[in-house]
């Protein structure tokens, strides 16, 4: 289970990315195609064309971190891929399910109970 503060946003690429890209290539995608600031501490997730590799890029106290996972069998079940050059925002639970091989698009989330506001 990933425990991230609510201030950390997670963006997943909606299109397949060349997994040969490193820090600079992935930063260029985040900046130019998604219009996001890579120095915010948010997580930027990229899935390879064969859906068996995933990279997560984020900024951490003076340097970039690149997490790379390759599945030996099976595929990551991420959001539907298209070619509009944008990313979809997910929460930490959906990212944890993605990394664990669960197709989170088929999981139904219940609405959390919230107390009524006092007037």
Say if 32 falls within a structural domain: yes
| H or E stretch at 67 | strand 63-70
Say if 17 falls within a structural domain: yes
Q: Give burial (CB, 10 Å; 0-12/13-18/19+) of 33.
A: middle
Pairing between strand 10-13 and 43-47? Answer: parallel
Q: What is the pTM of this model?
A: 0.81
Say if 4 falls within a structural domain: no
Say if 117 falls within a structural domain: no
Instruction: Give the domain extent around 49.
Output: 10-106
pLDDT digits over 10-66, tens only? 999 888 899 999 999 999 999 998 999 999 999 999 999 898 999 999 999 889 999
Report the distance separating Cα 64 and Cα 78, nearest Å: 23
pLDDT for res 38: 94
């Amino acid at each position: 289970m990933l425990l991230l503060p609510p201030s950390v946003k997670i963006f997943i690429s909606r299109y397949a990315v060349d997994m040969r890209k490193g820090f600079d290539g992935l930063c260029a995608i985040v900046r130019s195609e998604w219009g996001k600031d890579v120095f915010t501490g948010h997580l930027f997730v990229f899935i390879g064309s064969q859906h068996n590799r995933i990279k997560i890029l984020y900024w951490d106290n003076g340097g970039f971190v690149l997490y790379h996972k390759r599945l030996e069998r099976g595929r990551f079940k991420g959001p539907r891929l298209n070619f509009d050059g944008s990313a979809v925002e997910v929460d930490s639970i959906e990212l944890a399910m993605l990394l664990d091989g669960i197709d989170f698009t088929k999981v139904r989330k219940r609405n959390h109970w919230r107390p009524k506001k006092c007037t």
